[in-house]
Structure 1
Amino acid sequence: MSSSVSQGRIPAHSPPNHVVWRRWAGWLALIVIAYVIGESAEAVLPAAHLLAPLVAGLALAATGLTADQVPARLNRTCQAGLGVLIGSYLNPNTLEHASSAMLPLTVVTVATIGLSLLAAAVMARTGRIDRASATLGMVAGGSAAVISTAQDHDADSRTVAFLQCLRVALVAATAPLVVHWMISPQSTAPVTATPYTGGGWRVVTGDHQGIGLLLLAGVAFAGVLIGRAVRLPSPALLGPMLLTAAITAAGFLEEFAPTGLLRAFLFTIVGLDIGLRFTRPAMAHIRRLLPLALCCTVAISIACAGLAWLLSATVRIPLTDAYLATTPGGINAVLTTAVATHADVSLISSVQSVRLFIMVLLAPLVIRLFTPRPRPVGPGSG
C-alpha cells in the first residue's frame, strides 16, 4: 500500500489523454471564434481584439453556458508574449526621438502616475473596491498587460478590466474629435479613428517569420526564467519585458516582437480570460461602480490634456502633437489619429511607448508600496 493511501489521502489521477486533447481543442476553437468576432468588430470598436472577446466571454459566463477559465499555462504564455511586445517599444529609434523631450516626458510620466494613484485612492475609498484593483484599474497605459497580471497582485481582474477598458474606450472615442477641434474648426468632416492593425497576417515584426518566431519563443522563455530567478513580481510578464528591452535598446535584435495575427491572438486570449470571470454578482458590483469610474476617468483625461498644454509650451511642439502624446493610454487609436491628421507620428509613438513601458514596469511596485499589508494574526498581534 502506498504511503499516500496509508495516510488517508487519495492520489490524484490525471485525466486520460483523449480528454486533455479534447479540452485543448475546445479552447482552441473558442479562441479562434473570439478572434473572428474581434476581427469583425475592428471597424466599430476600439481595441476590438481585446474588448470583443471580453464581451463574448462575459456573455458565456453570465448566461451560465460555461464556468471554465482559460488554462493557467496558456495565460502565462500569453503574458510572456505581451512582455516581449511591450519591451520591444524601447528600441533605439524610440529612445532617440524621445531624448529631446526626456525631462518634460519624465515630469509628465510622474504626474500621470500621481494622477492614477490619486484616482485609485478615491476609487478605493468611495467605491468599495480594494486598493490593488483600484490602482491597477487606473494605471494609464498597457491595458492588456495590466489586466493579464491582475490576479498576480491579488486584484479583482474583472474590476481591473472594466476600469481599463472604460479608459481605452473613452480615449479612442474622444481623441479624434478633440484633435479635429484643435486643428480645423472650419472643417466639416471629423477625423475617424480607423483600426490600427499594424501587420496583417504577419506574426512577428521581422522579414523572416520563422526565425523571428524562434527568437520570440527563446526570449520569452529565458525572460520568464530570469524573472523567476530574481523574484520579479509577475515574472511571466516583467521578465520577458525587461529582457526584450535590454536586447532592443542595445540594438542587437529588433525583429521578433509579436505583431499582426499573433498580437491579435494575444489580446484575444486576455479579453476572453477576463470576460469568463464576469459572474452575475460581479456585474452588479460593476454597475454600481460605473458613475464613479466614469468621473475618475474623465478627470484623468482632462488633467492629461492640461499636461499636454504644459508640454507644448515647454518643448515648443504643436498642441495637437502634445495632446496625442500625453493621452492616458489608447495607443492604437492615438497613432491612427496621428496618421490621419498628419501629426508627428514618431514623437507621439516615442512618448506613448516609453510611458507605456514605464507604467507597466512600475505598476507592480506601486501596488506593493501603496497597498497596506494585512497584519499578522496571533499572540501579541493585538
Structure 2
Amino acid sequence: MTTRAQTRARTLAGLGVLSALLTGGLALAGFPAAFLVGPMIAAIIIAVMGADIPLDRRLPPLAQAVIGQLMAHSLTLKVLHEVAAQWAIFLGGVFSVIILSFTLGWILAHLRVMPGNVALWGASPGAATAMTLLCESYGADQRLVAFMVYLRVLLVTLATSIISHLVVTTRSPVHALTLGADLPWWPCLAIVAVTALITPLVRLGAAPLLLSLAGGLIVQTGLGFHYRLPLWLLAPSYVVIGWMIGRRFTRDVLHHVWRALPAVTVSTSILIAGCALLSWPLAHIAHVDLLSAYLATSPGGADSVAIIAASTPIDVPFVMAMQIARFMVLIIVAPGIATFLTRFLPTDGTSGAKAR
C-alpha cells in the first residue's frame, strides 16, 4: 500500500523533472526568467491533475528574502535620490495603476462576478501574498482573493516574459545571476538568515521581502559594502517562487471559481493592456525605454517582476524603484480603498459576504 510519504516523494520527483524540462526548454528558447516560469507552469500542471504539492512552509519566506536581495541590488543611493527628485512621476505612475486596478475590481463586484470585497481585494495590483493574508481580517474569502491575485500574477508573468522575449535579446540566465562574480557572497546569506529569524516576529505577509530589502539597502547603500548574489542561492529561490504561485491553481480551486474564471481573465487582460498603454507616456516623461516603462507599470508581483527584470537588458533600477514604490503604497492604502468602495456596492448578500 502506498504511504503518504511515498506519494509526496513521487509528486516532488514528478514536479522536479517537469520543472527541469520546462525550464531547460524555455532557457534554450531565450525566455527571461526561465527559472521562474518553467517551475510555475509545472506546478500548475501537477496541481490541476489533483496532486497536492508539499511545499515546506519555511521555503517561500526564504525565497522571498533572496528576491528582496535582488531588489536591493538595484536600488543604489543614486537611484533613491532620483526617485526623490522625480517623486511626481513615480507617484503618478503608482496611482495610475492602482486606480485602474480598483476600477476593474469594482466593475467585477458590481456585475456580481465575485463578492464585493473579494473583487476589490483581488484587484490589488501587487503585494499578492500580503493582500491574501490581510483580506481575511476584513471579511473577504481568502480562497477567492488568492485565486484572483495569483491568476493575475500568473498572467502578468507569462505576458511579461513573452513580451520581453519578443522585444529584446535577453541575457543568458547564468550571466544575469552571477553578475559581480568577483565579490563575496556571504553577506547576502547573512542578511537572508537574519531575515528568517526576524520574520516570525513581524505580522505582515510581505515581511521577508521588505526586511531583506531593508537589510540589503543598509549594507550596500548605508555601509557601502558590496556583495554578489550567487547562482546556487538565486536559482532555487526562483523555483520556489514559481512553485508557490503554481500550486495555488488546484482542481478544487478552479472548480470553485469556474464561472468567474472567464470574467476575471478578461479583466486581468484589460489591466495588462491598460498598464501597457500607461507605459507609453511614462517612457517619454521619465526618459526610459518602453520595455522598462512597461515592466515598471506591470501589475504582477514585485518578486516575479524582479526576476524577469534581472534577466532582461533594461533600466532595472527604474523598474524596481517603481515596483517597490507601488508595493509600499498598496500596503498602506489598499485596505482603506477596498473598505471604502465596498460601501457603494449592493448589499443583497452577494457582495461583502464570504462565498459558500
TM-score past 0.5 threshold: yes
1:360 aligns with 327
SS across alignment from 1:72: coil
1:241 correspondence with 2:213: yes
1:167 aligns with 156
1:207 correspondence with 2:207: no
* Maintained 8 Å contact 1:223/1:239: yes
1:152 correspondence with 2:123: no
1:78 correspondence with 2:63: yes
1:166–1:93 CA distance, 2 compared to 1 (3 A): same
1:335–1:268 CA distance, 2 compared to 1 (3 A): closer
Deviation per residue, 1:40-72 (Å, 9 max, x gap)? 2232766433332222222223323x3242011
1:171–1:134 CA distance, 2 compared to 1 (3 A): farther
1:83–1:134 CA distance, 2 compared to 1 (3 A): farther
Q: 2:316 aligns with which of 344, 349, 355?
A: 349
Distance 1:238 1:302 in 2: 28
Distance 1:30 1:107 in 2: 42
1:119 aligns with 104
Shift in Å, 1:34: 2.0
Distance 1:267 1:133 in 2: 28
Distance 1:268 1:135 in 2: 27
SS across alignment from 1:288: coil
**One-letter code of the match for 2:298?**
P
Shift in Å, 1:199: 3.7
SS across alignment from 1:75: helix
1:33–1:138 CA distance, 2 compared to 1 (3 A): same
1:299 aligns with 270
Distance 1:291 1:38 in 2: 28
SS across alignment from 2:156: helix
2:22 aligns with 37
Distance 2:324 2:76 in 1: 11
Q: Which ranges of structure 1 fall in alignment gaps of 5 or more residues?
A: 1-18, 141-145, 177-190, 340-344, 374-382
Alignment of 1:363-374 (within 5 A): 363-372=330-339
1:284 aligns with 255
Distance 1:25 1:81 in 2: 28
SS across alignment from 2:225: coil
Deviation per residue, 1:184-213 (Å, 9 max, x gap)? xxxxxxx544445454495x644357x41x
Q: 1:58 aligns with which of 38, 44, 49?
A: 44
Alignment of 1:254-265 (within 5 A): 254-257=226-229, 260=231, 262-265=233-236
**One-letter code of the match for 1:161?**
Y
Distance 1:223 1:72 in 2: 15
**One-letter code of the match for 1:354?**
A
* Maintained 8 Å contact 2:124/2:330: no
Distance 1:293 1:272 in 2: 22
1:312–1:30 CA distance, 2 compared to 1 (3 A): closer
* Maintained 8 Å contact 1:35/1:53: yes
Distance 1:235 1:117 in 2: 24
1:92 correspondence with 2:62: no
**One-letter code of the match for 2:57?**
A
Moved more, 26-35 or 274-283: 26-35
1:266 aligns with 237
1:244–1:335 CA distance, 2 compared to 1 (3 A): closer
1:117–1:34 CA distance, 2 compared to 1 (3 A): same
Distance 1:129 1:88 in 2: 40
**One-letter code of the match for 1:61?**
A
1:328 aligns with 298
Distance 2:7 2:266 in 1: 45
TM-score (norm 2): 0.71
Alignment of 1:212-223 (within 5 A): 212=185, 214-223=186-195
**One-letter code of the match for 2:92?**
V
Distance 1:33 1:264 in 2: 16
1:197–1:132 CA distance, 2 compared to 1 (3 A): farther
1:252 correspondence with 2:224: yes
Deviation per residue, 1:315-359 (Å, 9 max, x gap)? 5x377477546542556667877x4xxxxx4xx323211011123
1:99–1:223 CA distance, 2 compared to 1 (3 A): same
SS across alignment from 2:75: coil
1:139 aligns with 125
Shift in Å, 1:73: 1.6
TM-score (norm 1): 0.67
Shift in Å, 1:215: 1.4
